[in-house]
Structure 1
Amino acid sequence: MIKVRMFDKYFLTNKNNKPAEPEPEIFESPDGKETIKVIPYRSPRWQRSTKYLVASVILMLLLATLFFLRSLISPILVAVIMTYLFQPISCFFNTKLNISWKASVIILYVLLILIIVGLAAWGGISLASQAENLINFLTQVFNDLTKQTSPTVNSPESSTSIQQLLNSFSSSETGTEIFSAIQNVLSGITGSIGSLISGFASTVVSFFFSFGLSFFLLFESDGVPGKTISFNLEGYEYDFQKGRQQFTRIWNSFLRGQILLMIFTILLYFLVFMILGLNYSLALAFLMGLARLIPYIGSTVAYIFFAIVAFYQPTTFLGMPHLNYAIMIVLIAFIIDKFMDSVLTPKVMADTLKIHPAAVLVAAIVFSKLLGLIGIFLAAPIVASFKLLITYIYRKMTDQDPWEGFETIAKPIPLRQIVKNSWETSKKFLGELVVFTINFSKWLVQKFKTWSKFLSNNIKDFREKRKDRKNHEQSGNQTANHRSN
């Protein structure tokens, strides 16, 4: 039995403009006992209320899915980051080795697995051990300080004055905001480090999940970024292409530049701390690399950790006093940090995100609660992306051209050019530093000779005067003895 269903509601009434009727399609009923003939392209249109209802249901389902699967957000973001970072390397293998894209991706990931295994065997265990020992060391220091200061703090006079001071400060709005900000940042950093150590197995599983997902994303892209994303809404093709270009430049510029700066920071601080004999040098260098993601507060917290470790470790560089050693460590770290802020960071990042550091600080605090350590890392590009999206929505709602006079993000500098520029800048700075060190050493040697000569002459004059005084005293004594006799 064949049923013919005709949906003529939206047929054109004008026979002259009526299109040719399409051929019907035949479907089987669920029970398989009859067939249904349906003429295609007769699906009725949705009313506006139906569209709003469907959109609301989809949005609620999406939010519920994100809530229940929020633990997978960080691994997925890490996978997307890996895809962005590894895509140019795969392109390099694809063009230079003249092999297919899939083969280049496979070769890249095999090499990455070998590198990861090698680094885990050489430095991963050492980093985890140093981080755990560092946390135990800081905990012991704080406990010792509490025991040493508790008699003074608990005395009636000091306890009353300190309590009044803390109450007056914490009750103020500024004090509450400062305490809340510091607590959120410190809890985000220490909580992330502690979870990394305590949940090492889950961290490894999450990393390899992200690693595998990035492999499939890159493997199926065929070297074309964003190939899996298509947009066919009529009239919005230019908006989509322009927006995708800006989002891609934001994330590419930040991720590649920030990863390069983090690696350089960790290596530089690790070498400096190793030379200066600072304990837990690898963990502290890694901490400084993460601290650079948080403006204002991150570096300050790292300096405090450096000073505590340098002051309380048993031995110091060249037997220096512990206070002088701690001051020297913090001063050197401050100089390196300012060098990177003023020389390397502008060369690598080139102000691509165009956002205020205070906005990055607030975003780092917020996203550290939502995504943990990965939220701190991605705070800056997320803020830049929200800024771009909100600007577009505001201009569309006010009937303005969203792209007219828009401050677009510049095309990111190629990684090879970034490395070359950074090397040239570092080489120039090191050359100037060597010249300054040589000139300063010559000046210091000259001053040392002058001071030595001055001290030698003074000592010689002092000895001669003391000798003359002794001779005078002896002659006076002899004269007195002679008179007494």
Structure 2
Amino acid sequence: MTLQENPSSPGWSTNTKLVVGLALSGITILLLIRFHNILAPLLTSVLVAYLFHPIATFFNKKLKIPWRLITTILFLLLFAIIIGLLTWGGISIVEQVQNLIKLIQGMITDLPGFFEEISSKPLVIGPFEFDLSKLELETLWTQVAGIVQPLLAQLGSLIGSLATGIGSTLTWLVFILLIAYFILSESNKANLIRIVIPRYQEDIQKIVTQLGHIWNAFLRGQLLIFVITVAYYALLLSVLGVKNLFLLAFLAGLARFVPYVGPFVAWTTYGLVALFQTEHLGMQPLPYALLVVGCAWFSDFLLDNFVVPRVMSDALAIHPAAVLVMVIISASLFGFLGILLAAPVLASIQLIVTYLISKLADQDPWLNLRVIQPPEKLSVIFIRQWQRTKNAFLRINIFKRDTAKKQANNPQQSSKKKGEKNE
């Protein structure tokens, strides 16, 4: 109902609107500061509900299962799976992570002596010989170790606190699942959250649509890239004979969320583990470690240039350096969750800020704003890649068949060539 239809409700002056707006902004900021410790769990709950919404929609529409029933079933299954995983392997996973961190810390401590030893004699790789005595490897690594060791110590204490505070972790886990359940169970109702601003409904709808495309593209694409990376690295490290391959493969998947720094930290970890393990595929430790790091670098090169562009496309279109800065900021605010969601949060902020600046400049916000297209369906991507792979094999078979026909049609030439070779 508008003010013209209800003249008993007087309009607000500009000063009143300004005071109310500033008051609401101040209250919002105070609430965020006061309850900042629950922001990360709340965001996680929203994310879980968002991920389960397509699954619930599928069963609700295709199998005609009531929304509340399918939501309850999904979350009961999720809770049972999480409890089972925690009971079966949670404690051992924490212990493996702690052992890996202790192993890396010990490696860093022993590296100066190791470099002193290898620099005293030439490095022989096949027919090549390298003199390392002129390189000040020990001094260089001592400086690097002074930076890396405190970081590993903090990470080790974090894992230790996670193991000792398992009760608190389970409490937050139940809180996240309950909030996500309530959000998802009520999300099928029309007008659950409706913002009505006269003359701005079209803009609000466009912004909501664009934000949906951003988060759909990120969640679908980044999660798929994470799974592909973990599976690929688990296979690669297994072939190379690297220990703790599952944890290192998981680290490779997490490194995809942090540009520049993430891959560098992952490569360094692979190299250290490969350098100090007892088995090196019959090679010297240093060449073996260089082989592992080189394979990891080449694998990331393939992923960045062939897999990521086809899965993610240019859905977010933000510079990796900006994502890195956002990772640092969001990690200090929301911890590990902030690292994972830095890219879509930055893209969302960019969209909203661009809209606000256009309105402040009295320009059409949708004239020069980059419209984000909805992400391509995974089924379409898989079908297209399958067709390309099938066509490639067909071309290979056709080439082999044509080659065989040519050889069969020219038996005399083939026999002459064989005779010339024998002579």
Q: TM-score per shorter chain, which class?
A: 0.7 to 0.9
Aligned match of 1:211 in 155, 163, 177?
Answer: 177
1:249 maps to what in 2?
Answer: 213
1:88 maps to what in 2?
Answer: 54
**In 1, distance between residues paired with 2:241 and 2:185?**
45
**In 1, distance between residues paired with 2:152 and 2:332?**
11
Going from structure 1 to structure 2, the CA distance change for 1:303 and 1:113 (only over 3 Å counts) comes to same
Q: State whether residues 354 and 369 of structure 2, in contact with CA within 8 Å, keep that contact through their aligned partners in structure 1.
A: no
Q: State whether residues 348 and 422 of structure 1, in contact with CA within 8 Å, keep that contact through their aligned partners in structure 2.
A: no
Going from structure 1 to structure 2, the CA distance change for 1:118 and 1:246 (only over 3 Å counts) comes to same
* Amino acid in structure 2 at the alignment position of 1:282: F
Aligned match of 1:347 in 310, 329, 343?
Answer: 310
Q: State whether residues 102 and 222 of structure 1, in contact with CA within 8 Å, keep that contact through their aligned partners in structure 2.
A: no
TM-score, normalised with respect to structure 2 = 0.77
Aligned match of 1:335 in 298, 319, 329?
Answer: 298
The answer on 1:129 being equivalent to 2:95 is yes
| Aligned ranges 1:372-383 → 2 under 5 Å | 372-383=335-346
Q: CA deviation at 1:214?
A: 1.2
Q: State whether residues 330 and 338 of structure 2, in contact with CA within 8 Å, keep that contact through their aligned partners in structure 1.
A: yes
Aligned match of 1:114 in 69, 80, 83?
Answer: 80
1:300 maps to what in 2?
Answer: 264
**Bigger mean CA offset, 326-335 vs 411-420:** 411-420
The answer on 1:311 being equivalent to 2:281 is no
Deviations 1:184-227 (A, max 9, x none): 99899777656545544333332332222111111101177xx4
**In 1, distance between residues paired with 2:30 and 2:210?**
29
Aligned match of 1:357 in 320, 325, 349?
Answer: 320
The answer on 1:98 being equivalent to 2:64 is yes
* Amino acid in structure 1 at the alignment position of 2:40: S
Deviations 1:277-323 (A, max 9, x none): 32222221111111111111110110000000110112233x33222
The answer on 1:370 being equivalent to 2:336 is no
1:67 maps to what in 2?
Answer: 33
The answer on 1:260 being equivalent to 2:208 is no
Q: CA deviation at 1:392?
A: 0.4
* Amino acid in structure 1 at the alignment position of 2:348: S
SS at match of 1:399: coil
**In 2, distance between residues paired with 1:399 and 1:316?**
66
* Amino acid in structure 1 at the alignment position of 2:21: A
* Amino acid in structure 2 at the alignment position of 1:362: V
* Amino acid in structure 2 at the alignment position of 1:329: V
2:203 maps to what in 1?
Answer: 239
SS at match of 2:106: helix
Going from structure 1 to structure 2, the CA distance change for 1:183 and 1:296 (only over 3 Å counts) comes to farther
Q: State whether residues 258 and 327 of structure 2, in contact with CA within 8 Å, keep that contact through their aligned partners in structure 1.
A: yes
Aligned match of 1:289 in 239, 253, 273?
Answer: 253
SS at match of 1:217: helix
Q: State whether residues 256 and 262 of structure 2, in contact with CA within 8 Å, keep that contact through their aligned partners in structure 1.
A: yes
State, as a whole percentage, how many aligned pairs show the same letter.
37
**In 2, distance between residues paired with 1:259 and 1:188?**
27
1:454 maps to what in 2?
Answer: none
Task: Return 5+ residue gaps in structure 1 as ranges.
Answer: 1-10, 13-18, 20-39, 151-157, 171-178, 436-485
**In 2, distance between residues paired with 1:363 and 1:55?**
28
SS at match of 2:373: coil
Could you say what the CA RMSD is over the residues aligned between the two structures, in angstroms? 3.8
Going from structure 1 to structure 2, the CA distance change for 1:197 and 1:286 (only over 3 Å counts) comes to farther
* Amino acid in structure 2 at the alignment position of 1:358: A
SS at match of 1:104: helix
Going from structure 1 to structure 2, the CA distance change for 1:126 and 1:337 (only over 3 Å counts) comes to farther
Q: CA deviation at 1:428?
A: 7.0
Deviations 1:115-152 (A, max 9, x none): 323433454444322211111111222233467789xx
* Amino acid in structure 2 at the alignment position of 1:72: I
Task: Return 5+ residue gaps in structure 2 as ranges.
Answer: 117-134, 398-423
Deviations 1:449-483 (A, max 9, x none): xxxxxxxxxxxxxxxxxxxxxxxxxxxxxxxxxxx
**In 2, distance between residues paired with 1:335 and 1:431?**
24
Q: State whether residues 94 and 159 of structure 2, in contact with CA within 8 Å, keep that contact through their aligned partners in structure 1.
A: no
Q: CA deviation at 1:88?
A: 0.8
**Bigger mean CA offset, 326-335 vs 374-383:** 326-335
Q: State whether residues 291 and 298 of structure 1, in contact with CA within 8 Å, keep that contact through their aligned partners in structure 2.
A: yes
2:106 maps to what in 1?
Answer: 140
Deviations 1:39-90 (A, max 9, x none): x974554443333223222222211111111111111111111122111111
Going from structure 1 to structure 2, the CA distance change for 1:379 and 1:55 (only over 3 Å counts) comes to same
TM-score, normalised with respect to structure 1 = 0.68
* Amino acid in structure 1 at the alignment position of 2:345: I
| Aligned ranges 1:35-46 → 2 under 5 Å | 42-46=8-12
2:131 maps to what in 1?
Answer: none
